[in-house]
């Protein structure tokens, strides 16, 4: 089946630094990818839609200058958490749809900001 990968799987950083998370579709192309975040014992919250060749679309309440999204190619989207703070610590998950409209999710990236 289709596979979506994320890198890194875990990252620990100091407050004030920026962290980049990569999302790749391994055996299919994705003009659109989605980024979610998930706090402990909570559901996934959609952050933004990443669009290849154009600007990302952010959900209400998500700071676009804080969470920079770049969809560099048909198989790669990156999420950069800028000037990270402890409250940004979360589980970040990306997904990509196949032509059949089935979403495939990455394994997630656990971000801890000290």
> What is the CB neighbour count within 10 angstroms for residue 36?
20
| CA gap 63, 69 in Å, rounded | 11
107 sits near another protein (criterion: CB under 8 A): yes
As a whole number of angstroms, the longest Cα–Cα distance in the chain is 41
21 sits near another protein (criterion: CB under 8 A): no
**Residue closest to 67 by CA, chosen among 100, 99, 111:** 111
Mask: binding to another protein, 22-41, rule CB under 8 A, as x and -?
---------xx-x-x-----
Q: Residue 89 CB, nearest distance to another protein (Å)?
A: 14
67 sits near another protein (criterion: CB under 8 A): no
Q: Residue 98 CB, nearest distance to another protein (Å)?
A: 9
């Amino acid at each position: 089946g289709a596979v979506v990968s994320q890198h890194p799987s875990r990252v620990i950083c100091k407050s004030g630094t920026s962290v980049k998370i990569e999302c790749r579709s391994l055996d299919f192309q994705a003009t659109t990818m989605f980024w979610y975040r998930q706090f402990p014992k909570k559901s996934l919250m959609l952050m933004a839609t990443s669009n290849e060749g154009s600007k990302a679309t952010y959900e209400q309440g998500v700071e676009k200058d804080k969470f920079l999204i770049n969809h560099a190619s048909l198989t790669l989207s990156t999420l950069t958490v800028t000037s990270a703070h402890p409250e940004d610590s979360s589980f970040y998950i990306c997904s990509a749809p196949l032509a059949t409209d089935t979403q495939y999710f990455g394994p997630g990236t656990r971000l801890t900001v000290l």
